[in-house]
Amino acid sequence: MGKVTGFLEFQRRLPDRRPVALRVRDYREVYEELSEDEIRAQGARCMDCGIPFCHEGCPLGNLIPEWNDLVWRGDWHDAAERLHATNNFPDFTGRLCPAPCEGSCVLGINSEPVTIEHIEYEIAERAFSEGWVKPQLPAPSEHTGRTVAVVGSGPSGLACAQQLVRAGHGVVVFERAERPGGLLRYGIPEFKMEKRVLDRRLAQLRAEGVEFRCGISVGAPVGTDHAVPADGGQVAAGTIPVSPEPGRWSQALTAEELISQYDAVVLAIGSTVPRDLDVPGRDLAGVHFAMEYLKPSNLVSEGTLARSPVSAAGKRVVIIGGGDTGSDCLGTAHRQGAVSVHQLEIMPRPPEWRSPDNPWPTWPLILRTSSSHEEGGERLYSVTASELVDDGAGAVRALRGYQVSQEVTNGRASFDKIPGSDFELPCDLVLLAMGFLGPERRGLVAELGLDLDARGNVAVGPGWETSRPGVFACGDMARGQSLIVWAIAEGRSAAAGVDRWMMGESALPTPIVPGQVALR
């Protein structure tokens, strides 16, 4: 603890966001820079608690007090070493994680917590700018001759692949989309994380020996998923675009072919089945799942696609779902030039501060305002949709809904209509951002006959093994829709399980065990 009174001397300080009028004109990241002195002062606020509850809040077990202290002392190199010891991708989590560590920060009992996430971001960026992030290659004597196929290139698959290749195994990552990254590339908008951040990590993985094979579908025939038209033409409602060109997949492998070619297979295909809206008018033109909207928008912003087949330009937009995905849709709609945007949430408006039944160190269930919310739009709470109205030509013209009251009985919530609360919102584009229901059961999961848990996710044992010998699973397909920090932690842990299964023992770290939960 370098600055004993730091938490008394310095107030919590985050970087300013770029002015709204400027940032909605581009897709650059929204934050300004803090000076080094300001960043070091934020590190000085860490109290180096006797029991650092931030460790419990972080699935990766990040050594938070250690690198906070090193930042305060100006020892950025050692801070980067401590940070990368537990987290393969702090440049991702420093931008995208909701920071459960901060919810558990002891300083948060009666003050504002340490800016852990932003300090992490600053350490990672300093490490890249100084050239400290280098490929970590095993010695020739450490090469095992074993091979592993990782299916899926989201954060869980990437973390697993990097850990395994550093352990001396040959690793090939299979991705059905045209480029690796999963939701980091096709779901997260550029204004939250620019793709250059992803690409520089992918370059590190390639330099370490990870091979990426994209445009390959494992466990499903070529072209069975819906694609974004290459010319940016209209995409049918209710389809999920996977590739920007029809028939873009150059190959398809059956699961059995993959198993026969590799010593072990790790499945990290995510939770990709979206929750649908069962109301009259669901099939009208102009009603889309969030990913049908976000993926082509990302392709446009990175220059891969000329124009998006689903655009908010000049439209009245309604987003159903109040979470991060809905917020991503909101910020994208602002940049495309939406006339108006309403974001609907069935849950009540959260309080500004912790309620008595939500004490520290549990995750604070409070109102959160993202950069997208700052930019405009209206948030409606305790409402639900009842009908989507036809304009007479097969397209949506309005959403009808009503207000609800929440009742909780035996831990289960129900939502009852408030009489006389019906309303109608004019709209031309409706985006469904209500979360995901688990991994796709057809294709790979069905072909392998994998056991599922009670929630419909792929069931895994203590070593991350599935019901099929030699096949492992991690990330959202085993946990369900979750956070990027959990995905990285599960990828790291699954890599240790695979290494142990192939070699009899493993020196790779195991941050978590299947089913573990944090203080949320």
pLDDT in tens, 130-174: 999 999 999 999 999 999 999 999 999 999 999 999 999 999 999
Q: Which residues contact 469 (CB under 8 A, 6 or more apart)?
A: none
What structural domains does the chain harbor?
Answer: 6-129 (1.10.1060.10), 140-219+254-273+437-503 (3.50.50.60), 287-432 (3.50.50.60)
pLDDT at 236: 42
Taking alpha carbons only, the member of 371, 284, 281, 292 closest to residue 335 is: 371
Mean pLDDT of 239-265: 69
Average pLDDT over residues 283-311: 93
Band (219; pLDDT cuts 50, 70, 90):
confident
Asked if 217 contacts 254 with a C-beta cutoff of 8 angstroms, the reply is no
The whole-angstrom separation of Cα 426 and Cα 353 is 33
Q: Are 273 and 440 in contact (CB under 8 A)?
A: yes
pLDDT in tens, 418-432: 999 999 999 999 999
**Residue 247 binned pLDDT confidence (cut-offs 50, 70, 90):** very low
Residue 513's identity, in one-letter code, is V
**Residue indicated by tokens 């099939």:** 283
Is residue 157 within 8 Å of 488, Cβ to Cβ? no
d(CA 477, CA 269) in angstroms, rounded, equals: 6
Mean pLDDT for 59-64 is 95
Measured N-to-C along each axis, helices 484-503 and 155-166 cross at an angle, to the nearest 10 degrees, of: 40
Examine the pLDDT at 16 and tell me if it is beyond 80.
yes
CA angle, 407 then 412 then 416, to 5°: 35
Task: Kindly state the average pLDDT of the residues 361-388.
Answer: 96
Do residues 252 and 220 lie in contact, with contact meaning Cβ atoms separated by under 8 Å?
yes
pTM (2 decimals)?
A: 0.93
Residue 162's pLDDT is 98
The answer to whether 294 and 432 are in contact (CB under 8 A) is no
Query: What pLDDT does residue 157 have?
Result: 98
Percent with pLDDT over 70 in the chain:
93
Q: CA 487, 493, 499 angle in degrees (round to 5)?
A: 135
Tell me the chain's radius of gyration from C-alpha atoms: 23
Q: Can you give the pLDDT at residue 94?
A: 97
Amino acid residing at 247:
G
Predicted confidence band at 517 (pLDDT cuts at 50, 70, 90)? confident
pLDDT at 250 over 60: no
How many whole angstroms separate alpha carbon 80 and alpha carbon 93? Answer: 14
The answer to whether residue 401 scores a pLDDT higher than 90 is: yes
Task: Give the per-residue pLDDT at 229.
Answer: 42
Asked whether the predicted pLDDT for residue 514 surpasses 60, the reply is yes
Q: Are 265 and 210 in contact, with CB atoms under 8 Å apart? A: no
What's the rounded Cα separation, in Å, for the pair 366 and 480?
23
The single-letter DSSP state of residue 18 is: P
* pLDDT given at position 520: 52
Residues 6+ apart with CB under 8 A from 43: 6, 67, 68, 69, 70, 71, 72, 114, 119
Q: How confident is the model at residue 224 (pLDDT cuts 50, 70, 90)?
A: very low
pLDDT score for 241: 40
Q: Angle at the Cα of 275 (from 273 to 277), degrees rounded to 5? A: 140
Stretch 288-314: mean pLDDT: 93
Tokens 């573990």 correspond to 516
- In the prediction, which pLDDT does 2 show? 65
Q: How many CA atoms lie within 13 A of 454 on its CB side?
A: 1
- How many Cβ atoms are within 10 Å of 358's Cβ, its own excluded? 14
pLDDT at 244: 36
Judge whether 381 and 418 are in contact, CB under 8 Å: no
